[in-house]
Structures are given as structure tokens and as C-alpha cells.
Structure 1
């Protein structure tokens, strides 16, 4: 199963560059990716966001589901579709439309216990880049 590669606890190091607001920021946190009992994984991120002098808690919940072969469906925590990607040669890419704004993601595994993901959001309301490094806690 493709999604099993993402199971575990992953400290998060996320750099934020907001071109529209002219701000840079950072998120430090942890992602916990655990089996849901139906063959998928629950991805829960919690951390502290620092952006433009504002510091606050931040988080998100996603669901990962095998979609056959090397394909993975990523859903919002409430089950709505978010994006789909194909994990080939330890790389993937996906996209999500939200009104007139477009979100693209490119990721790659760096060995068994690290991966990097870069999101770019552009459109009339968005212009930012999130670069996140995840390093799995190995016990």
C-alpha cells in the first residue's frame, strides 16, 4: 500500500513566503499519521505558526487513501476531496482548485524517513509558497 509509507510521527519544519502580503513566516509542529481502520491514514498536524509578528496555534486534518497502483487520494478531514497524486520514483505532484485560486504541490521522499513538500498558491487572492520538511521520528 502506498499510503503506508507515510505512517508515523513527523516533526514539521515549514517555511512560509507570502508574496501578496510581503511576509515570511514559519511553522514548527508535528504531524501524526495513523491508520484509520479502513486501510487509510489520518494525518493530523499541530504546531505554532509565526507570521508577520503574529504567533498562534495552527493545525489541519487530512485523510490519505490508496486509490490503486501508486495513486493516493488526499481528502480534507471531513472527507471532501482535496487532491490526488501518483507516487513515482519517490516523487509526486498534485493540484487543487479553489475558486479562482490554484494550489499546486510537488513532493519527494528523501530516504525512508524524510520528505519535502512545496505548495504554491496563486490567484487573485493568493500568492504564497509553503516549503515543508518532514522527518519521521524513528524509535
Structure 2
């Protein structure tokens, strides 16, 4: 993907509902899975006036080795340290990664025990963005590609 769309304010851009399609590939075994669902970014009242963020709620079905299971996750996107950026946290408040889409593209790392999660975030236009997470560690070699399409 050669061209990226700059996003001056990531929290404004993400607000709303997105259709989500994620492919998951285990690069060691060759196994593949798929998640299909919806992600809703809704107002999160935290930190007082002018410091609100977004609650990220994702739900859908994950198919792995032919077996479909319900799947969901919740994240918090808080205002970042510089205008237009976000501080992404797990539902329990633990830090996950930073997010700065002011250039339309961002790389973020998240160390997790012996594994390293490296995410690349790219914005195509007002209604399409993508994340690609590469997970590497002693027992993991995964590639997770997620496409988001704005609903409505």
C-alpha cells in the first residue's frame, strides 16, 4: 500500500462502527483462521472534560481449524501525549500501545512476556483502515491482518 491518508485527530476518525475482517495465520504450522465481526468506538467518559476517549468493543465469530466460536475484546483509546494521538490500553487499564495516524501510518510495539507484537496501522481513506500485527517469540510466529470498513 503506497499512499496513506493523514488523520489529524485519531479519536475523531475512529468514532463510530466498523465492519471487521481479520485473517490469522500461524506462520510456523501454516494453520489459518478468520474473525468476522463489528467494532464500535463509543464515547468513554474518563479523565474529566476535554480528556474523553473511546471505548473499543469488538464482537463477532472466530473460526480456527474449522471451528467457529464467539469472540470479543474491549480496549480503551485515551487521548495521547500529543494532539491527535491515542494511548491504547487494555480493558483493565494496562498499557497496550500508542497510536499516531497524523501521517496515515504508524508502527507500534507491544512486548508480552517473551513475545513481541509489532503492529502497523495504515489509513486508506475516511472509511477504510488496516492493522497488521506480527507476533514473534519462542512459541509464536503469527500474522494477523485486520481490515476495517466504516458502517453507515
Residue 21 (structure 1) shift: 3.5
Does the Cα contact within 8 Å between 2:79 and 2:86 map onto a contact in 1?
yes
- Separation of aligned partners in 2, 1:46 and 1:125: 27
1:13 to 18, 21, 37: 21
2:68 matches 1:60: no
Greater length-normalized contact order (CA 8 Å, ≥ 6 residues apart): 2
2:137 matches 1:129: no
2:26 matches 1:37: no
Provide TM-score, normalisation by structure 2: 0.86
User: What is the aligned residue count?
Assistant: 138
Residue 58 (structure 1) shift: 0.8
1:95 to 102, 109, 112: 109
Residue ranges of structure 1 left out of the alignment (5+ in a row)? none
> Which protein has the bigger strand share?
1
Residue 70 (structure 1) shift: 3.5
Structure 1 ranges of 4+ moved more than 3 A: none
Residue ranges of structure 2 left out of the alignment (5+ in a row)? 1-8, 47-51
- Separation of aligned partners in 2, 1:2 and 1:11: 18
Provide TM-score, normalisation by structure 1: 0.93
The answer to which of 81-90 and 38-47 deviates more is: 81-90
Does the Cα contact within 8 Å between 2:11 and 2:84 map onto a contact in 1?
no
Residue 20 (structure 1) shift: 3.0
